[in-house]
Amino acid sequence: MTTMIESAKLAERLNAICDAQPFVTRFMVRALGSGETIGRGADEETPSASTRKTSIMMAALKAAHEGRLDLDERITYEKRFAEEVASGMFRYLSPGIVISLRDAITGMIVLSDNVCTKMVFERLTLEEVDNYCKSIGMTGTNHRFLIPPLALSPDHSLKAVTTTTARDQVYLLQTILDAQDSRDAADRLGCSQALCAYALQTLKNQILRYAIPSRLPFGVLVAHKGGTGKRGRMNAGIVYRDGTPFYIIAAYTDDVPQEMPDGTPGYTVALETIGRLSRACWDELRS
């Protein structure tokens, strides 16, 4: 009964954080100690922004596992890769740099570099990545574009971007985590356990520390991927406590105004909201 009481208290706190804002917040939390989940709009389609890149990474690793891609392939950075790109640092570098496909995957995740995303996605197809998600059980995820157009308006339709659900992202992260010790979980992802270990480590290497980690104690390990969309901010990750996976959280803000009534940029409050959700989980859950 103690766990149920704690979960009810946490659910109340999480919903109060969401209710305090004028925009939509969808989330799912899984307590890894008990397996319990708490959600709000967790099955509702929502813009994925760059949280989609975790599934792109896994689709690429599946192709590598099957021998269709070589992670050691050398890729030359060409000027065309920087066109219509608004994230990462490669767009500011001089063409001619050569990196491996493995390094491109790393750049796609740890800095959300869309030059690297283009390098990875050119070796896959949109249909392949979308079908991959459906095949592993991410039925609410729809990959529609390589890179969303820069000129998208803040009120764009869902069909103008790749979409996902908080539940799908928690499921994907849970399966990657399970694959560290379970061959069956690795098989569900179509990868070897070694490749799943690489995937988890790459998520742990995330450099950007806003949203989920922002209100946690300094140095807490979070394996996560964030996203910047025209309609909101999002983040999905695994939070560790004392070196052990503690909880998984996927949070998606939507219909975020450009400016709040007090003049604060909407995206600032969106990221802070996700940080507060994560901190509530840290405070209320029990190891």
174-232 pLDDT tens trace: 999 999 999 999 999 999 999 999 999 999 999 999 999 999 999 999 999 999 999 99
Q: How much is the pLDDT for 197?
A: 98
Q: How much is the pLDDT for 6?
A: 67
Q: How much is the pLDDT for 1?
A: 37
Q: How much is the pLDDT for 2?
A: 45
Is 71 a residue whose pLDDT tops 80? Answer: yes
Question: Could you please report the per-residue DSSP string of 89-112?
Answer: SGGGSPTT-EEEHHHHHHHHHHS-
H/E stretch holding 223 reads strand 222-228
Is 22 a residue whose pLDDT tops 90? Answer: yes
Question: Could you please report the per-residue DSSP string of 142-169?
Answer: B---SS--TT--TT--GGGS-EE-HHHH
Q: Which two tokens stand for residue 93?
A: 């570098």
Residue 149, number of CB atoms within 10 A of its CB: 12
Which residue, chain included where needed, has tokens 């991410």?
Answer: 138
Mean pLDDT score across all residues of the chain = 94
pTM above 0.85, yes or no: yes
Residue pair 75/251 in contact by the 8 Å Cβ criterion: no
Is 284 a residue whose pLDDT tops 80? Answer: yes
Q: How much is the pLDDT for 151?
A: 74
Q: How much is the pLDDT for 120?
A: 97
Q: How much is the pLDDT for 147?
A: 76
**Region 103-119: what's the mean pLDDT?**
96
Is 281 in a helix, a strand, or coil?
Answer: helix
Separation of alpha carbons 33 and 27, rounded Å: 19
Residue 153 pLDDT class (50, 70, 90 cuts): confident
Q: How much is the pLDDT for 5?
A: 47
Of 126, 130, 123, 132, give the one whose Cα is nearest residue 104.
123
Is 267 a residue whose pLDDT tops 70? Answer: yes
**Region 256-279: what's the mean pLDDT?**
97
Q: How much is the pLDDT for 155?
A: 86
